[in-house]
């Protein structure tokens, strides 16, 4: 795995943990740290989404 792969994995893990906290405890860790829908929290959410898209691309590429 290269550096970009590792960044994507870390971002998806962060997103998964955050969604788990939201689902189980109604607690948004990203919003708690960076502010509710602040510019920085939006960037974090965007990066997590891009990481997930990259992981999908990697999964499709590996499947071929």
Cα gap 53→30, rounded to integer Å: 20
**What pLDDT shows up at residue 1?**
85
Could you read off the pLDDT of 10-43 as tens digits, one per residue? 999 999 999 999 999 999 999 999 999 999 999 9
Domain ranges of the chain: 3-63
Phi-psi region of 11 (alpha: psi -120 to 50; beta: other; left: phi over 0): alpha
* End-to-end Cα separation, the chain, in angstroms: 17
For residue 64, what pLDDT band results from cuts at 50, 70 and 90? Answer: confident
CA 31 to chain CA mean position, Å:
13
Q: Token match 């920085």: residue?
A: 40
Average pLDDT over residues 50-62: 94
**What pLDDT shows up at residue 27?**
97
């Amino acid at each position: 795995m290269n550096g970009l792969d590792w960044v994507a994995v870390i971002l998806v893990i962060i997103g998964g943990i955050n969604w788990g906290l939201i689902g189980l405890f109604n607690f948004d860790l990203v919003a708690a740290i960076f502010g509710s829908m602040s510019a920085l929290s939006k960037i974090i959410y965007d990066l997590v989404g891009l990481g997930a898209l990259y992981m999908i691309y990697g999964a499709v590429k590996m499947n071929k």
